[in-house]
Amino acid sequence: MDIKTLSGNVYSYLRRTNEIVSGVVVDNDYQWNFSPLHAFSAMLEVEMFIVGITEQCNLRCTYCCYSGAYENNRSHGKRILTSDDISDIYDFIRKMSNKKHIRVSFYGGEPLLHYQLVQYAITKGQELFGNCIGFSISTNGTLLTKDKIDWLISNNVEIAISIDGTRMFHNAHRVDAHGNGSYDNVYEALSYIKHFYPEYVASVVLQMTLTSYRDIIQIAEEWDNDDLLKYFTPSNIHGLSPNFANGVERIDYEEVKELYTQILDKYERNMDNVVLNVFFDECIAYWKDRPIVDAGSAVPMATCMPVNTKLYIDSKKEIGVCEKVADKYRIGNIKDGIDWSLANEIIEKYYQQRVKRCRYCPAIRMCDMCLTAIEYTDEQWNVLCHNERVYARVFMFLYCEMAERGLLK
């Protein structure tokens, strides 16, 4: 894989050693070998349990993976856990985790629709695990009233709020069933936190989903000019999950490079911008921190099982490897525990797909494909792998371009 920076310098990436070198150097012949897969019957690293309190949500975000538009996912439903379920979940957690300290994260739907149940679950968890348990909650922010914020912060609960940029961008997609935007409620919650808990501002997790990265320059400008938002830093900025029911386009290297170059030009003129800082940190994170090490003859495949650090428990009390893996692929339930043969079967299928595809792929070391891809057909994998390789090359270009311009921090 090679790139040319805007000043005309050419750099090549070598998969075997993870190096970037000057000029065109081809290492296409090097074959990447994965170590053989071994059957497993334990997950020793799990320390985080994501609990789907309810399938209900008060919003109808246009891109929601529970909108019914995603083939292998549920639609917005009615299920809610009960207090008995919470006790059963803690029994499962006790049996499942070897870790001294665990984390429980409340998820939905919108978990704050059932705030009393969330409070019950936190209080019960504290009773059972004392200081060895921590909590977080993922919320759309619309129900974060003052009393709830007070209680969650006083109980050391990490609050993760979705905010898709500034008003116009957020309200274009994060809407209720009548199409009304939810930005003002989120903003009010952030304003309350900033005013009454200034020391907590840095701990708020802000999740920003963008339907198009073309919006980021305007969002970045508006964010920095906003008297409240400028104090908050988005924790991550990401695009939409692929939805083949709506079609997923094969992206073009030159087009994506051009867009990212425009964003980089803006960043170069305004390197204190928090949104652009987060955006570029994420783009070049792999390249900046990559170890320069020879891959040798065989390497283990990084999979989400059995070395996963988290598990997802949905409102049906079924277990998923993570909240992002399609609902169709559950690996057990809290009563009977993990179905190890099912878990091994899923990994085997994923492993075979990677072995078949990845040996000569230039993106092998930085590829973000994961077990979520288990639901895709061969043709869908082809599209996603193409896009993954384009992004790997664009991010390498950005890294080299930023190095040449003196923009690496």
Per CB under 6 A, residues contacting ligand SF4 are 57, 59-61, 64, 66, 108-110, 140, 354, 357-358, 361, 363-364, 367, 369, 385, 388-389
**Least distance between ligand SF4 and beta carbon 237 (Å):** 16
Residue type, position 121, single letter: A
Q: Tell the smallest beta-carbon distance from residue 220 to ligand SF4 (Å).
A: 23
Least distance to ligand SF4 from the beta carbon of 299, Å?
Answer: 12
Smallest distance from ligand SF4 to CB 406, Å:
31
**Which of residues 88 and 176 has its CB atom nearest to ligand SF4 in the complex?**
176
How many whole angstroms separate alpha carbon 121 and alpha carbon 255?
Answer: 48
The least CB distance from residue 312 to ligand SF4, in Å, is 14
Q: Which is nearer to ligand SF4, 20 or 133 (CB)?
A: 20
At closest approach, how far in Å is the CB of 22 from ligand SF4? 25
**Dist. CA 223–CA 232, nearest whole Å:** 9
Measured from the CB atom, the residue of 73 and 97 that comes closer to ligand SF4 is: 73
Q: Which residue number, 273 or 315, has a Cβ lying nearer to ligand SF4?
A: 315
Nearest alpha carbon to residue 319 among 93, 84, 132, 67: 93
CA-to-CA distance for 60 and 173, rounded, in angstroms?
8
Handedness of CA 121, 308, 140, 67 (dihedral sign): negative
Phi, psi for residue 19 in degrees, rounded to 5: -90, 155
- β strands within 102-243, DSSP E: 102-107, 133-139, 157-162, 205-209, 236-238
Cβ neighbours, 10 Å, residue 29? 7
Q: Closest approach of Cβ 154 to ligand SF4, in Å?
A: 25
Closest CB to ligand SF4 among 12 and 140?
140
Say if residues 369 and 385 touch (Cβ distance below 8 Å). Answer: yes
* Residue 205 C-beta: closest distance to ligand SF4, Å: 14
Give the C-alpha separation, 68 to 58, whole Å.
15
Residue type, 150: D
CA distance 3 to 8: 9
Nearest distance from C-beta of residue 297 to ligand SF4, angstroms: 18
* Backbone φ/ψ region at 327: left (φ over 0), alpha (ψ -120 to 50), beta: alpha
Nearer to ligand SF4, 68 or 198 (CB): 68
β-pair type (157-162, 205-209): parallel
* Smaller CB separation from ligand SF4, 140 or 315: 140
Of residues 97 and 166, the one with the C-beta less far from ligand SF4: 166
Helix (H, G, I), strand (E, B) or coil at 90: helix
Task: Give the nearer residue to ligand SF4 in terms of CB position, either 97 or 139.
Answer: 139
Least distance from C-beta 385 to ligand SF4, angstroms? 3
H/E stretch holding 219 reads helix 216-225
Pairing relationship of beta strands 10-14 and 2-4 according to DSSP bridges: antiparallel
| Identity of the residue, 283 or 367, whose beta carbon is nearer to ligand SF4 in the bound complex | 367
**What DSSP line would sit under 45-88, residue for residue?**
T--EEEEE-BS--S---TT-TTBS-STTSPBS---B--HHHHHH
